[in-house]
Amino acid sequence: MNVYIGNLSRTVTEADLEVIFEGLGHIVFTHLVPGSNDHDARGYAFVAVADERQAALAISAMNGKYLKGLRLIVRPVLDRARQARALRAHSMPPGSLEGVARFRLLKGGQALD
């Protein structure tokens, strides 16, 4: 199950997310959405965990917590129609996540790349 992490500092890395979320369950992958240049992030990411129970644990444990000075927004990923409305509400062009394939597969917290 995928979990949305929003309001991330531009200095947060995928490694930071892996460290934080690995204590809450088995992480399948993390994906920090890239910004307009390679060294900048958009301020949100997705973390996939093994099941809904671990997702609920991650959401309850991390939503509202501070990371690098910003208060996190942690929510379950919505179905495609609701996600499209949410992306439009955040001024993202439709289809901006299409073609994004920069995922890191993890096994037991270790990257497989």
The CATH number assigned to the domain holding 70 equals 3.30.70.330
d(CA 1, CA 55): 7
pLDDT of 86 > 70? The answer is no
pLDDT in tens, 5-57: 999 988 888 888 888 888 887 888 888 887 766 566 678 898 888 888 888 89
Indicate the pTM of the whole model: 0.64
Quote the percentage of the chain above a pLDDT of 70: 63
Q: What is the pLDDT of residue 37?
A: 67
When pLDDT is averaged across residues 79-104 and rounded to a whole number, the result is 55
C-alpha dihedral, 18 to 80 to 95 to 59, nearest 10°: -20
The Cβ of residue 30 has, within 10 Å, a number of other Cβ atoms equal to 25
When pLDDT is averaged across residues 79-106 and rounded to a whole number, the result is 54
- Write out the residue range of the structural domain in which residue 47 sits: 2-111
Question: How many domains does the chain divide into?
Answer: 1
When pLDDT is averaged across residues 66-80 and rounded to a whole number, the result is 86
Phi, then psi, of 78 in degrees rounded to 5 = -85, 165
What is the band of 113 on the pLDDT scale with cuts at 50, 70, 90?
very low
Beta bridge partners of residue 29, listed in sequence order: 48, 105
In single-letter form, the type of residue at position 48 comes to A
Q: What is the pLDDT of residue 30?
A: 84
Beta bridge partners of residue 82, listed in sequence order: none
3-state secondary structure of 6: strand
The H or E element that residue 56 is part of is helix 52-62
